[in-house]
Homo-oligomer: A and B are copies of this chain.
Amino acid sequence: MRLSLCAAVAVLAVALAIPAADLGAQEKSADDTMVSLGAKTLAQPCPVWVIGSYDKAGRPNVMTASWAAICCSQPPMVTVSLRKATYTYGNIIESKAFTVNIPSERLAAAAAYFGAVSGRDVDKFAASGLTPVKSDLVNAPYVKEFPLVLECKLVKTEELGLHTMFIGEIVDVKAAASILDAKGMPDVTKLKPFLLAPGNADFYGVGASIGSVQELGESVKK
């Protein structure tokens, strides 16, 4: 996604673009030698999202995924990569639908659990005490207690190797009223999503604001 600025600001900015902000000169850290770590999936941060689906018998299942992102703005789409071995893989192939459920920090244990056991062996909703709700728009369940949910229709799959990419069109987003800001948008400080940092063993929360995207960008242009 290219970050947006209003047209007037953008025109002004281009006109003023001179190398006044020499960010490179500030960057003399203790040890900036670049070390090769090999061909690994070491990108940070990654989201912790929970994928909801029904199996052939109509039983709801959930699994946790971090190889996932928004992948198109228009139409709005999200991608999630799953291994063929997962129960969710077969569910989505059959049902052509899934939900992306975004947990708050206080439900981090549920998200970790949903990633540690298989729906073939366990009813994860029953085991965690959380509640499946049938989407009224797609053939998939969402987690009632998770405050932000994307309801998705499968539009494409892409076999990549160990993982298969599922691309879904977002047909609606549902949010708990308690996490909305004054403009009716999800407030990250109320939602409190969390993240995975491959290479590290813990989940991490979202920290403080480090500034307005627009103002940060303008600080370099001026």
Contacts and interface: CB of A to CB of B under 8 A. Distances in A.
Mostly helix, strand, loop or mixed at chain A's interface? mixed
User: How large, as a class, is the contact surface on chain A?
Assistant: 35 or more
A196 to B, nearest CB: 7
A171 B39 contact: yes
Given A65-B1, A175-B34, A162 B72 contact: yes
A213 B112 contact: yes
A156 B156 CA distance: 14
Contact of A188 (B49, B106, B197): B197
Contacts of A74: 161-163
A86 B185 CA distance: 27
Name, among A26, A49, A188, the residue most crowded by chain B CB atoms within 10 Å (CB to CB).
Answer: A188
A178 B116 CA distance: 32
B116 A176 contact: no
B206 A195 contact: yes
A22 B13 CA distance: 54
A63 B211 CA distance: 19
Copies in the complex: 2
Interface string A3-23: 101000010011001110111
Nearest to A176: B32
A101 to B, nearest CB: 10
A210 B203 contact: yes
Contact of A2 (B86, B147, B202): B86
B42 A145 contact: no
B109 A23 contact: yes
Contacts of A219: 109, 112-113
Nearest to A14: B121
A2 B83 contact: yes
Given A37-B172, A163-B71, A207 B206 contact: yes
A210 B220 contact: no
A14 B119 CA distance: 11
